[in-house]
């Protein structure tokens, strides 16, 4: 099922507009992550898709059907929340069966469908247990199976992994990806974790202050951010941001427009000669190793930066020349919009 928002806004009764001109398409069969900081509009957008909230203006379409005025029940969506919301007195099998029972699906059909879904989410060996006997990851699998039980048009996942420990989150994000690919159901996944979104989604919608900052493939958000917010939010370690006056005119003139700040990816910075690159004078304070990863603390003027490609051969506590590969350098104007490289450098 394709989802389309046509200039949708949401204004609270107190007059505060919380979502502004949301205009996007989610292609049938895609897994889209809604990503952003707390209060950015992720869950609000999800609730507009589900019908739990009503748009103040604009239109929402599922395929060719305008569902703007339709309630959650009529939209045929499946929802999974971060607290799983399983019925504690029911077995795993009965939890999966329950939505089909309410929809008056005949007994043999619903049991067969539930067993198929239990196998899909890999809990078929747990079907006679109660939720309290399951791990967090197993409970999440059951919740996904239950949401899929009525063959929803769209599967909506609201921070589904946030209650799991780090190792289990990695395992479950791969499982969600597998389940979505096997079912082909259009899926919208809310998360504040950029790594989760980058690993799971076909496309990421990055939201802030109720506005879409960028809606693109994960790697495009990383390599070609629209603005400073996107460049800062996507990537680990975070983007190094330095005022433009720390660089000479030659560097600023690489970009088309009035450069206010320059952003440098941590992996673009190195003490080894690179081209094309910009040169800068910096002081390397320490280089730490964490298994296969390396991280250097450096300063450019009074500004502290992080670099991951500075080698242990770099002299410490003295001024040295570092190189920043141009592919990992961005320039932004006063409003935070990204400025393009001039034609001869692009």
Residue limits of CATH 2.40.50.140 in the chain: 238-339
Taking the alpha carbons of 116, 182, 1, 69 in that order, is the dihedral positive or negative?
positive
CATH match for 238-339 among 3.40.470.10, 3.90.1150.10, 2.40.50.140, 3.40.190.10: 2.40.50.140
What is the spatial distance between Cα 120 and Cα 346, in angstroms, rounded to a whole number? 47
Q: Among 208, 210, 85, which Cα is nearest to 158's?
A: 85
Helix runs in 121-215, H state only: 136-148, 166-183, 194-200
pLDDT at position 3 is 95
Q: Is the distance from CB of 239 to CB of 265 less than 8 angstroms?
A: yes
Q: Is the distance from CB of 272 to CB of 259 less than 8 angstroms?
A: no
Q: Is the omega angle on the peptide bond into residue 172 within 30 degrees of 0, that is, cis?
A: no
Residue limits of CATH 3.40.50.300 in the chain: 3-228
pLDDT at position 344 is 53
Q: Is the distance from CB of 185 to CB of 155 less than 8 angstroms?
A: yes
pLDDT at position 240 is 94
Say if pTM beats, i.e. exceeds, 0.75.
yes
pLDDT at position 331 is 95
Q: Among 2, 14, 333, 50, which Cα is nearest to 190's?
A: 50
- Using a 10 angstrom Cβ sphere, with 0-12 exposed, 13-18 middle and 19 or more buried, the burial of residue 128 is exposed
DSSP state of 132: G
Strand 329-332 and strand 338-339: pairing?
antiparallel
The fold of 3-228 is Rossmann fold (3.40.50)
pLDDT at position 219 is 94
Kindly report the number of other CB atoms within 10 A of residue 330's CB atom: 25
Token code pair at residue 87: 């019925």
**Which parts of the chain have pLDDT scores under 70?**
344-346
pLDDT at position 150 is 83
Tell me the per-residue pLDDT of 287-317, one tens digit each, with 9 for 90 and over: 888 888 889 999 988 899 999 998 888 888 9
């Amino acid at each position: 099922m394709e989802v389309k928002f046509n200039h949708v806004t949401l204004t609270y009764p107190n007059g505060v507009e919380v979502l502004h001109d949301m205009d996007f398409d989610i292609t049938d069969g895609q897994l889209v992550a809604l990503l952003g900081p707390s209060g950015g509009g992720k869950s609000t957008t999800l609730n507009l898709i589900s019908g739990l909230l009503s748009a103040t203006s604009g239109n929402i379409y599922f395929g060719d059907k305008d569902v703007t005025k339709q309630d959650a029940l009529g939209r045929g969506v499946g929802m999974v929340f971060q607290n799983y919301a399983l019925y504690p007195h029911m077995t795993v099998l009965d939890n999966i069966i329950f939505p089909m029972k309410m929809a008056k699906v005949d007994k043999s059909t619903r049991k067969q469908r539930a067993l198929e879904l239990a196998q899909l989410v890999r809990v078929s060996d747990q079907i006679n247990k109660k939720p309290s006997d399951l791990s967090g990851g197993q409970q999440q699998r059951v919740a996904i199976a239950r949401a899929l039980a009525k063959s929803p048009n769209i599967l909506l996942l609201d921070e589904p992994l946030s209650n799991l420990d780090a190792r289990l989150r990695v395992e479950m994000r791969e499982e969600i990806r597998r389940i979505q690919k096997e079912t082909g159901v259009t899926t919208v996944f809310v998360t504040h974790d950029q790594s989760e979104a980058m690993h799971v989604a076909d496309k990421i919608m990055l939201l802030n202050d109720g506005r879409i900052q960028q809606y693109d493939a994960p790697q495009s958000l990383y390599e070609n951010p629209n603005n400073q917010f996107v460049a800062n939010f996507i990537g680990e370690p975070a983007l190094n941001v330095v005022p433009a006056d720390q660089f000479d005119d030659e560097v600023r003139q690489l970009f088309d427009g009035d450069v206010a700040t320059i952003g440098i990816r941590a992996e673009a910075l190195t003490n080894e000669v690179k081209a094309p690159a910009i040169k800068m004078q910096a002081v390397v304070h320490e280089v730490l190793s964490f298994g296969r990863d390396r991280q250097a603390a450096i300063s450019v003027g009074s500004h502290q930066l992080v670099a991951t490609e500075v080698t242990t051969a770099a002299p410490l506590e003295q001024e040295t020349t570092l190189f920043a590969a141009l592919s990992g350098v961005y320039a932004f104007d006063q409003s935070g919009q990204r400025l393009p490289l001039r034609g001869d450098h692009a």
